[in-house]
């Protein structure tokens, strides 16, 4: 990476970081229990998902050699399982602590992404990628609606919109970060003359690190044990 690119990144951080601290809930960067942890978890969830989602089709077509139509089947499967996961979550959000739902969904995400990443090796059956991405969709269906719900439960009367908007802001930041860092990993591998699989492995590893962190921050989204838990 050239010096001017590093300079641009540095300038962006100098401008963006103080602004983010003013917009995000106090304690977000340390995942303080409650709404700050929900905001950080929203960031990590989207980062972990997009670091793989943005490059899944590239991997399936250029590494595994299948058509766009065949790769689209994997995307469709994840869409269906996402809906299934959301339906399952909605029927249990009043009975199971939200932090536990986050743990369940995050474990599904980690397992699914690990399965997809394994298929970077052509010795692994391609079906593993399809099943893995379907599991990722299931995990997103569980985790994605849990964070706004946790935020709404803890928001004070009249502050629901502002608190939720902060969480959604972190969600969008996670989308940009996951896709951006993943793209950077792919670009760096290409510039270094490394195979595409190396760049994709880097992108997927970025997503994996974010999900490992989510496993811990997701446990802190409730200020206290859910009153509705049994």
What are the tens digits of pLDDT across the range 148-200?
999 999 987 777 887 889 899 999 999 999 999 999 999 999 989 999 999 99
Q: Give dist(CA 106, CA 84) in Å, integer.
A: 16
Give the closest residue to 118 by CA, choosing from 48, 211, 209, 204: 204
Q: Give dist(CA 176, CA 171) in Å, integer.
A: 9
Query: For 31-220, CATH number?
Result: 1.20.1250.20
Residue 228's pLDDT is 41
pTM (predicted TM-score): 0.91
The string of pLDDT tens digits covering residues 31-51 is: 999 999 999 999 999 999 999
Contact yes or no for 51/204 (Cβ under 8 A)? yes
Residue 226's pLDDT is 45
Helix, strand, coil % over all residues of the chain, rounded to 5: 80, 0, 20
Rounded to 10 deg, the angle between the 160-191 and 3-23 helix axes is 170
218-to-51, 66, 69, 141, 223 alpha-carbon distances in Å: 19, 36, 35, 15, 12
Contact yes or no for 133/80 (Cβ under 8 A)? no
């Amino acid at each position: 990476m050239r010096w001017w690119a590093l300079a641009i990144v540095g300038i962006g951080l100098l401008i963006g970081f103080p602004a983010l601290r003013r917009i995000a809930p106090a304690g977000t960067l340390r995942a303080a229990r409650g709404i700050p942890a929900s905001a950080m978890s929203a960031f990590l969830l989207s980062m972990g998902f997009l670091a793989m989602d943005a490059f899944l089709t590239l991997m399936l077509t250029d590494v595994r050699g299948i058509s766009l139509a065949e790769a689209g089947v994997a995307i469709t499967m994840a869409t269906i399982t996402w809906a299934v996961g959301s339906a399952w979550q909605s029927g249990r959000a009043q009975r199971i602590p939200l932090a536990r739902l986050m743990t369940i969904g995050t474990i599904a995400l980690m397992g699914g992404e690990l399965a997809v990443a394994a298929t970077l090796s052509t010795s692994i059956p391609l079906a593993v990628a399809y099943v893995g991405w379907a599991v990722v969709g299931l995990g997103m269906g569980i985790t994605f609606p849990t964070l706004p719900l946790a935020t709404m439960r803890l928001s004070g009367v009249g502050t629901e919109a502002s608190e939720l908007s902060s969480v959604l802001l972190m969600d969008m930041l996670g989308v940009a970060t996951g896709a951006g860092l993943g793209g950077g990993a792919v670009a760096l591998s290409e510039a270094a003359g490394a195979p595409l699989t190396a760049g994709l492995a880097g992108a997927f590893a970025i997503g994996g690190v974010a999900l490992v962190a989510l496993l811990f921050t997701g446990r802190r989204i409730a200020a206290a044990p859910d009153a509705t838990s049994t």
